[in-house]
A and B are shown apart, each in its own frame.
Chain A
Amino acid sequence: QVTLKESGPGILQPSQTLSLTCTFSGFSLSTYGMGVGWIRQPSGKGLEWLANIWWDDDKYYNPSLKNRLTISKDTSNNQAFLKITNVDTADTATYYCARICPMDAWGQGASVTVSS
């Protein structure tokens, strides 16, 4: 059974760096073809793909976030990470990680609020 769970700071201030962790089980990011993606959803709005990381450490980012994103992984501990620098109120959202592609298993989401 594949499970994923996101964790994050909950609340942070504008200009800070958001650090998110995805802890998963039921698959390994060292296995050929496996990948984890990050997606976010502002309250009451749609879904926005942010970044992917693959078993071979290949990484893809949404260019709309203009180099603010860094995705990484810790294969030994079955974790993936996402950092977003210089956050502002527009980054307030629920952040999901999912196994890809397609996104066949999702975490429960981590709510992040950016507020001064």
Chain B
Amino acid sequence: DIVMTQTPSSQAVSAGEKVTMSCKSSQSLLYSENKKNYLAWYQQKPGQSPKLLISWASTRESGVPDRFIGSGSGTDFTLTISSVQAEDLAVYYCEQYYDTPYTFGAGTKLELK
């Protein structure tokens, strides 16, 4: 199985701060045939279902604010929130869909400082 490691597990932030969180995979998620990274980022707020923010490591879903930026390739990926808003307080998960079993990281919880 591909192991997904997210850091930090939690982060206290203030509104307006820039936030970065990391996701590392135990093997490359870059498919050589199409040069795509099979990595997604999800946001889960309390009591809600996860919501897809970023697919293919860096493609923002329609309607997702442009303060959410996905980057990275191969085994190292980052989700950046350029200026955190109060509504961004949530748990963020990365997921690899390169190979089954699909696997998720343990999550990064954004909390208010």
Contacts and interface: CB of A to CB of B under 8 A. Distances in A.
A102 B95 contact: yes
Contacts of A101: 38, 97, 102
Interface residues of A, number: 22
Interface of B: 38, 40, 42, 49-52, 55, 61, 93, 95, 97, 100-107
Contacts, number: 53
A9 B101 CA distance: 26
Given A46-B93, A47-B93, A96 B49 contact: yes
Given A100-B97, A103-B50, A49 B103 contact: yes
Contact of A104 (B52, B103, B104): B52
28 contacts: A37-B102, A46-B93, A46-B104, A47-B93, A47-B95, A47-B104, A49-B95, A49-B101, A49-B103, A52-B102, A60-B100, A60-B101, A63-B101, A96-B49, A100-B97, A101-B38, A101-B97, A102-B55, A103-B40, A103-B50, A104-B55, A104-B61, A106-B49, A106-B50, A106-B51, A107-B49, A108-B49, A109-B49
A102 B106 contact: no
B102 A49 contact: yes
A48 B104 contact: yes
A49, A102, A107 interface centre (most CB from chain B within 10 Å): A102
A47 B105 CA distance: 8
Leading 6 A-B pairs by shortest Cβ distance: A102-B40, A49-B102, A106-B49, A47-B104, A62-B101, A60-B100
